[in-house]
Structure formats: C-alpha cells, structure tokens
A and B are shown apart, each in its own frame.
Chain A
Amino acid sequence: MSVLAQQLVLGLLIGGLYGLAAAGLSLVFGVLKVLNVAHGELIMLGGYGAFWLVALLGLDAFASLALVIPGALLLGVVLYAALFGFVVRADEETRVKNSLLIGFGLALALHALAVRLWTADERSVPTPYGGGVFTVAGIAIPAVRLLSLLLAFALILTLELLLTRWRWGQAIRATAEDWEAALLAGIDVRRAYLLAFALGTALAGAAGTLVTVAYSVSPSIGLEWTLKALIVVVLAGLGSVLGTFVGGLVLGVAEAASAAAFGGPYREVVGLVIFVVVLLVRPRGLFGR
C-alpha cells in the first residue's frame, strides 16, 4: 500500500511539470492554431540553459530561471519572426500542416545543435539541497521535486493572471476565440500571435529548467516531452490554464498508477490510451470550451 502511495506521490510531482510543459503548447496552439512539435526541443534547450548557468556561472539551480525565462522569451520572438510568423498568414487548416513541417525541421535542427554543444550525454545539475527528503506518513518526498512542482504552479498562476488582468493578455484570449472579431475590436492580431508564441517558449524554457533540476536533461528528451504535453493538451482541452495544470497532474498520477499495476514498461502506454479515449469520448477535453 505504502509503495503504491509512494509511486502516486512521485507521479503527482512529475505531473506538475507535464502541466507546465503543456501550458506553453496549449497557449501557442489555442491562439495561433499552430502545432509546434518542436515544443519539447524548446524544453530541452531551456534545460541546457539552466545547465550552463549553473555549471559555468555557478548560479543556484532554481535561480537560473530568472535568466532562462527572459532568454526563452527572446528566443520565442526570434523563432516567430524567422519561422512561425509566416505560417499564421495562411488559413487555419494550412497553418497546422505547415507548422508540422516547420516544427519537425526545427526539432531535428535543435536536437543536432544540442548534441554538438553538449554531447549526447545525460546531464543533471547539482543543488546544495539536492539530497533533501521529507518523510510524511511514511512517504518520501524529494525536496527538489517538491520545490519544482511549487514553482511550476506559481508560473501557471502567473500565466493565468497575465491572461486575465494584462491588457495584451485579454487581447491574446480574444484572438484565441475569434481572430477576426479581435481585429474588428482594434487588436493588432499579429502582435497577439507574437506575444503568445514568446510566452509559450518562455514556459517551455521554464519547464526545461525545472525538469533538469529535478531530474535530468539530454538532447533526445524533446520528442518525449512534446508527446506528454500533447496528451495533456488533449486531456485538458484548450482555453483553461489551470485546467491544463490539473491535466498534467492527472497524467502523472495515471502513469504512476499504471506502472504500479502493470509494471514499469506500461507507464508510457497509459498516456496514449488517455489520448485515444478522450478524443473518442470527449473531444473538447475535460476543461475545454
């Protein structure tokens, strides 16, 4: 029993990072109607950003977020200007097709770049409090993973506040609902697209940092994280930031439960089962509008 509880708690801890990873993908897909399959590679780059900041500059692992997030925002602006800004000129069906091509190309390029810069080895970053473990009711909770989950939740709340309180956040939501109506309200829709893409990239960078600090990073983690994020987006539906976070927690717990019930190899299967079942039974997702 306590072994199962332990597994579920660990699932919850990684689920928060699934939620954060999915929030960025969901924002970009919901607003631009563009599926960025290189989202996982952006997460991977965020992880290496943190790795360098810790290894080269001696920054605290979590404090590196303060530099990774602005860096990723900037990278998002560059990627939008160089690649995705052209995709959004097409009609919505063409956008998804074209973005898949661009996304896969970008994913391959970033993967190759990461191997070149950091080799194919798995890296992790040391933290002074790295070994700390709380024990609650016989369940061990690694301090670093708990802190990662809390930071992921804080970032999700920040995003929710930006989208509801900030003037351009409202413009981003309006654009997601109906971009023509947004234009008629006087909103510069191209700028809303740019901001949403940059925010999505910043969220990927932040997720990558937390993944690297709490777990590890290697050049090949991108596809896995894109898939996890995609499953959560389908599970949670578009249009609710907090719902996406909850969707991430659900996936984390479901993975842990299936691993405990059927053995480790089935951990990856449950996500795909969720993916198919949600699409069949409730295509707009648990919290989708």
Chain B
Amino acid sequence: MTGGDVTPARLEVADVEAAYGDLRAVVGVTLSVGGGEIVALLGPNGAGKSTLLRTVAGLLRPRAGTIRWDGEDLTRVDAHRIVERGIALVPEGRRLFGGMTVAENLELGAFAPRARATRAASLERVFALFPVLAERRRQRVAALSGGQQQMVAVGRALMANPRLLMLDEPSLGIAPQLVRAILEALVTINATGVGILLVEQNVQAALALAHRGYLLETGRVVAQGTGAELLRDPHVRRAYLGPLAVRA
C-alpha cells in the first residue's frame, strides 16, 4: 500500500462499564490504543472483549466511564458517526450483506460522505490487499468461502478510511492459510498508520503481531504488556496453556 497514509489518532478507554440488560459484561476497563499501534485484546469467552469493541463502536452505550478518540469524547456519539470519525469495526461473524455482491458490500462501507469522496481509491487499495476480491466483485458474498467473506468484511471496514480498525475474531472458522493472509494484511494496513485493536483466540499469532496486549477476564483487565511479557504472565499461561503451564 503506497500513499494515503493516515494521521494517527489515539483511543483512550477509561473505566468503561457496559451491560446487556442486567448482565454486566464489562466492569471498569481502562485501555488505550496509540496512533499506528497494534493492540491485542485477549481473554476467554465471556470476558467482555466483544462487548468492549461494540461499546467503542457505539452499538452499545457505556453505563459508566469515558471513551476518548483523538481528544474527543465519543461516549454519546451515534454509531454511524463514529465510523465517520475514523473508527471501523469488523464484527464477529463478519455480518456481511449476504444478498448483495462483493462490490455492493464494499461500496456500502464507503457510505459516509467523506469516505464516499475517496471511494475509487479505497476500492483499489482493498483490491490490492485482497486480489481475489477483484476477481469476485460481481458475485454474491453468500457464494464465497469463509476466508474470502472475512476479506470482504475487512475490506468493507477499510472503505470507511478508518484510522482505527477493530477486528473481532477475524480468524474464527477460516482455513489456516487464509488466516495468515488476513493477519499479514493487517500488518500492511498498520504500516500506513492505521491503529489496530484485535480480538483473537489464536494468542500466539495475535501476540506475534501486536505491539502490546491486554488480557480480560470477567470484564476486567487482569494483565497487560508487550507480547513477550504477556506470554510469560501466569494469567495468560493459565488461560491459554492450561493450569500445568503455570507451574512449569
């Protein structure tokens, strides 16, 4: 990817609480993603990772705490306006528009006026990143493999010209070689200055990629640090390598 490098911006999440009804899924999380940083968000199922991403994206209003982006308070901003400000979420399960073609899905990603103005260039960038999508642009996404659908999902998010790209388990249910293609694409995207907040079950791969990481358990941050630090952390080892690994 050449040209079009973005101005980095910083995400600051402070003491955020979020809940579905009475079920509190995030209980006072503080974390940050610096401009151009790759940050991994780790944790077992039900730790609140997806809820946190959905809260930052504006799909869920935080019960407490603040979310600041590039110095601005996002806590009360509508989801579609958060996209306009440069934060895009690739949701869990991809959530593509299955009845539409690859091209239509990508075009809808550039719906906001500012993204629309650079639609042609963005589309070229996505096709350079995932050449297979250029070949399949006229096909319905329902006809694509899981990995290709994930590429469409990442591509749709990139069409919004994000400065922060959040991904919720992009490798879930995808063939290993396609997982590698997608993770490599994230490095390429990050090289243009786009910050990345990645929720990923594959801890080794995520920490190899990320500059820093956070471990969430039952809605709280229980560990944080660089990839190497986290791999040594007893919380991480117990959560991902099993209880025996803690004694080793």
Contact = CB atoms under 8 A, between A and B. Distances in A.
Interface size class on chain B is 20 to 34
Interface string B97-114: 111100010011111100
A184 B111 contact: no
A170 B101 CA distance: 12
4 closest Cβ pairs, A-B complex: A186-B83, A186-B112, A181-B95, A183-B79
A173 B98 CA distance: 11
B59 A185 contact: no
A239 B57 CA distance: 28
Interface stretch (B68-76, B84-92, B191-199): B84-92
Given A181-B97, A183-B59, A186-B112, 5 more contacts: A171-B108, A173-B99, A180-B91, A184-B79, A184-B157
Contacts of A182: 108
A286 interface: no
B115 A184 contact: no
Given A185-B160, A186-B80, A186-B160, A170 B91 contact: no
A160 interface: no
Given A170-B104, A180-B59, A180-B91, A185 B96 contact: no
B115 A186 contact: yes
B49 interface: no
Interface string A163-191: 00001001101100110111111111100
A289 B100 CA distance: 11
B125 interface: no
A178 B153 CA distance: 14
A174 B108 contact: yes
Contacts of B78: 188
Interface of A: 167, 170-171, 173-174, 177-178, 180-189, 239, 289
B173 to A, nearest CB: 18
Contacts of B156: 185
A167 B110 CA distance: 11
B168 to A, nearest CB: 11
A178 B111 contact: no
Nearest to A181: B95
A180 B110 CA distance: 16
Given A170-B107, A171-B108, A184 B99 contact: no
